[in-house]
Amino acid sequence: MSDALVPPGPVPLGTTAAARHWSPSRLAGGSVLGVWAVLFWWLLLTGRENFYLSTRTQWVVPVGATLLTLAALGRLLTARTTQREPVRRREAWIMGAVVAPVVLIMALPPATLGQFSAGKRSSFASSGVATSAADIASGELTLVDVAAGQTTPEGEAALAARAGETVDFVGFVTRYDDTPADELFLTRYVVTCCVADATIAQVRVVNVTPGAFEPNDWIEVTGAIYPIGREVIVNAASAVAVERPSRPYLTP
């Protein structure tokens, strides 16, 4: 027995030639496109795209929202037809599965990668996105500058020349099994396109109050920086809890 939800085949005799029906197939397809369009508009309006994409690739959100809206409207405008176009039950459930990620993304609170992934990701310190030595040598030092400065001997030298200067970094707390109680790692993910390509930028922070912060807490650390070889240490003059930034990932 067919599992088609609407009997397939030609329109029965006696139907006028011009009779049009709502095509279940086109309506269902248009609805799926529409739901995805809603997600992209929602990402855009709420700023949630910051939790999934880098600033370099966020243009895909308005473009995706516009194209999906056009595609959905176009599909729905064609939904009245003289042909019967049944949707099989299996096909209908597959369309439901295609919509499920939208529910997942919209139902869950905004979240970022945290300590769990830090040990599994490549270190940005060995990544190819290098800030030039001249940039590192002058101006305010950022976490990206510090991490990228370790990619080349020139960058490392430029960073070493700034030893003792005061820096101000925001990141989340990472601790490993052998991290002393009065130290922590300040970590930030660097995202080039989407979170799937995240790498880590990390400094060791010393002289923090033991037990003051838990892993994944967002903190702001101010203190003197001491690049020692491939490790960068910040001697904390102050470390305070802060809200997670609206753009939690850095862009190289």
Extract the tokens encoding 222. 């101010």
Q: Is 193 in the site for another protein (CB under 8 A)?
A: yes
* 55 touching another protein, by CB under 8 A: no
Instruction: Assess contact for 22 and 79: CB atoms under 8 A.
Output: yes
Q: Which of 62, 59, 55 is nearest to 39 (CA)?
A: 62
Residue of 46, 55, 78, 209 that binds another protein (CB under 8 A): 78
- Site stretch for another protein (CB under 8 A), options 11-19, 169-177, 180-188, 224-232: 11-19
Q: DSSP for 79-112?
A: -EESS----BHHHHHHHHHHHHHHHHHHHSPP--
Minimum CB distance to another protein, residue 70 (Å): 9
Please report whether residue 251 would count as binding another protein according to CB under 8 A: no
> Nearest approach, Cβ of 205 to another protein (angstroms)?
22
134 binds another protein (CB under 8 A): no
Torsion of CA 152, 158, 164, 168, to 10 degrees: -70
Write out the binding residues for another protein, residues 30-49 only, by CB under 8 A. 30, 32-33, 36, 40, 43, 49
For β-strands 166-174 and 80-81, DSSP reports them as: unpaired
**DSSP summary character for residue 55:** T
Single residue of 10, 109, 164, 211 touching another protein by CB under 8 A: 109
Q: According to CB under 8 A, which residues from 79 to 98 bind another protein?
A: 81-83, 85-87, 89, 91-98
